[in-house]
């Protein structure tokens, strides 16, 4: 009887030890999804409802209240022209979302399509394209974006194009590896046997099979692009004043850190929370949708 009790106790302890890591992982997963999804939802709501959240236009100059600290009337204070920082940060969320989403789409569409074509047809074309993409990835992404923007001229549009071009190889590699894994699957062989066109096979059969890791990569890259776009604007190569882009707001606020700290704090916190939200959401989605892909 005592042996049975001891055995039951040992089995219970071993079972709880096995459940422990899984339970902690599920708790972390739930926390990532809730925090990340909440921050992203807050960013989207702020960008969508900004006219309802503030009575001031982002470019309204009020010289009488220059460099006012945060107050009830101006929660984030005012800048050196008397413009309301709360309005400028909220309107900046629209620019941040537009730049990051457009950059990711500009990288994803050609990257995924080229990756699927290379992985499906293979041959010497795939070898050449893969070597080009490997060489592309050898350059630091932000440095390459700086070179492209400097060549095309600093503006919001050129920043989007440069970041999109820099992001193509990561989508290419994921789409290529997924296509190689799926090209000999039974459902692909069956579609090929009945004469389905290659492009239809890619779009209707192979692409949906890669949807989970692609969604994860898209989510993570939005945060990366948002941070990169702000970095380019911070050094004067992105969105130009008077656009209330967060990186440009940070750049203008660094000259007033000792006297008007709120000018840099507000856009800095917006940057931090937004990038953190997309990263946490991407981590949570990766654990749910594609835990074994190694996407980072």
Query: Positive or negative CA dihedral for 65, 69, 73, 76?
Result: positive
**Residue 222 — very low, low, confident or very high, per pLDDT cuts 50/70/90?**
very high
Complete DSSP assignment for 234-282: HTTSSSPTTS--HHHHHHHHGGGTTT-THHHHHHHHHHHHHHHHHHHHH
What angle is formed at CA 220 by the lines to CA 245 and CA 243, rounded to 5 degrees? Answer: 5
Q: Which two tokens stand for residue 214?
A: 């692609």
Q: How far is CA 74 from CA 62, 87, 274, in A?
A: 12, 9, 22
**Residue 78's beta-bridge partner residues?**
84
Contact 73, 48 (CB under 8 A): no
Gap between the Cα atoms of 252 and 255, Å rounded:
6
DSSP state for residue 76 in the 8-state scheme: T
Are 202 and 116 within 8 A, CB to CB? yes
Q: What is the pLDDT of residue 17?
A: 47
Q: Report, as an integer, the average pLDDT of 284-293.
A: 74
How many residues belong to the chain?
296
Please, are residues 91 and 243 in contact by the beta-carbon 8 Å criterion? Answer: no
Residues 6+ apart with CB under 8 A from 230: 96, 238, 245, 246, 247, 250, 271
Scanning the structure block, which residue is given the tokens 């702020």?
Answer: 46
Residues 121-165 have pLDDT tens digits of 888 888 899 999 998 888 888 899 999 998 998 889 999 999 999
Q: Is pLDDT above 60 for 6?
A: no
* Residue 185 confidence (pLDDT): 84
Mean pLDDT, the chain, rounded, equals 86
Quote the tokens at residue 53.
């959240």
Q: What is the pLDDT of residue 22?
A: 54
Predicted TM-score of the model (pTM): 0.84
H or E stretch at 158: helix 156-182
What is the set of domains in the chain, with CATH numbers? 38-51+85-289 (1.10.3720.10)
Burial of 244 (0-12, 13-18, 19+ CB in 10 A): buried
Give the Cα separation of 260 and 283 in Å (integer). Answer: 36
Average pLDDT on 155-184 reads 92
Contact 228, 141 (CB under 8 A): yes
Q: What share of the chain has pLDDT > 90, as a percent?
A: 52
């Amino acid at each position: 009887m005592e042996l049975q009790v001891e055995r039951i106790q040992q089995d219970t302890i071993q079972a709880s030890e096995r459940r422990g890591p899984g339970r902690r992982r599920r708790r972390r997963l739930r926390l990532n999804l809730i925090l990340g999804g909440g921050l992203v939802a807050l960013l989207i709501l702020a960008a969508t409802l900004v006219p309802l959240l503030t009575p001031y236009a982002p470019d309204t100059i009020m010289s009488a209240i220059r460099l006012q600290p945060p107050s009830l009337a101006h929660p984030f204070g005012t800048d050196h022209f008397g413009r309301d920082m709360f309005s400028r940060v909220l309107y900046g969320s629209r620019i941040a979302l537009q730049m990051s989403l457009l950059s990711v789409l500009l990288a994803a569409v050609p990257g995924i399509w080229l990756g699927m074509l290379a992985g499906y047809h293979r041959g010497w074309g795939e070898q050449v394209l893969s070597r080009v993409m490997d060489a592309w990835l050898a350059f630091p992404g932000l440095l390459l974006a700086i070179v492209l923007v400097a060549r095309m001229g600093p503006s919001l549009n050129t920043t989007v194009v440069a970041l999109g071009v820099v992001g193509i190889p990561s989508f290419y590699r994921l789409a290529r590896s997924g296509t190689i894994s799926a090209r000999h699957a039974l459902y692909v062989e069956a579609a090929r046997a009945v004469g389905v066109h290659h492009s239809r096979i890619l779009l209707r059969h192979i692409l949906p099979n890669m949807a989970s890791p692609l969604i994860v990569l898209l989510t993570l890259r939005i945060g990366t692009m948002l941070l990169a776009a702000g970095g380019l604007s911070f050094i004067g190569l992105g969105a130009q004043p008077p656009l209330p882009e967060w990186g440009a707001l940070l750049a203008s606020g660094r000259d007033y850190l000792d006297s008007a700290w709120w000018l840099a704090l507000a856009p800095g916190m917006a940057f931090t929370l937004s990038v953190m939200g997309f990263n946490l959401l991407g981590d949570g989605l990766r654990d749910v949708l594609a835990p074994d892909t190694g996407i980072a």
